Chain A
Amino acid sequence: GAVVSQHPSWVICKSGTSVKIECRSLDFQATTMFWYRQFPKQSLMLMATSNEGSKATYEQGVEKDKFLINHASLTLSTLTVTSAHPEDSSFYICSARRWDREREGRWETQYFGPGTRLLVL
């Protein structure tokens, strides 16, 4: 269990257009999902926290008007890159948080999607 999907897996768009990326938890409900961005040869950087039914929380330096996040249901969060520019080209990865019961206790685990590669021309 605990599968997270992303769609599309890759997208190429023209500068100035908007792109929507979906993140779905397929077999569990997630009140909280996270969006990360990974530039080539760099680590994952947290962009925002997506909360079902409420506004997303953005990390410092991330433009909320550029990266619109909607978490309309317990299994779906969307990230829309508005008026995309070449510098927005990156690998976008989402994760969904779930409580897991393990042998030694009960903890929250983040399960990651496969990522979406965005190329803005």
Chain B
Amino acid sequence: AQRVTQPEKLLSVFKGAPVELKCNYSYSGSPELFWYVQYSRQRLQLLLRHISRESIKGFTADLNKGETSFHLKKPFAQEEDSAMYYCALTVYSGGGADGLTFGKGTHLIIQP
């Protein structure tokens, strides 16, 4: 069975400082990794996925298969980045992508 671990429940940084949200996973095959974000009173939305290698809102994440990690980074935090961030994993079975396995989430607070 797959597992996603986010070791930090809460991360507080000052505006303009670098941010790194940690995510480690365990799965014997080749999963697809995601970061989802949930802003206050809003629904969960996709931030980025490892396959696309895009930078969204200044965030990047690199899949490190050796360390089974998918840490989320941003060089300069902005106040609007304050939100709940979830790392998630899926695997593909015959019918397409399976449901997501989520980490427990990290609450990111950007202080002015």
Spell out A's residues near B (CB within 8 Å): 32, 34, 36, 42-46, 49, 51, 59, 93, 95, 97, 102-105, 107-115
Contacts and interface: CB of A to CB of B under 8 A. Distances in A.
B104 A104 contact: no
Contacts of B17: none
Contacts, number: 58
27 contacts: A32-B95, A32-B96, A34-B99, A34-B100, A36-B100, A42-B104, A43-B102, A43-B105, A44-B44, A44-B86, A44-B100, A44-B102, A45-B102, A46-B101, A49-B99, A97-B96, A97-B97, A104-B52, A104-B54, A105-B52, A108-B97, A110-B100, A112-B43, A112-B45, A113-B43, A114-B43, A115-B43
Interface of B: 32, 42-46, 49, 51-54, 86, 95-105
Interface SS, A side:
strand
B104 A93 contact: no
B44 A102 contact: no
A48 B54 CA distance: 30
Contacts of A114: 42-43
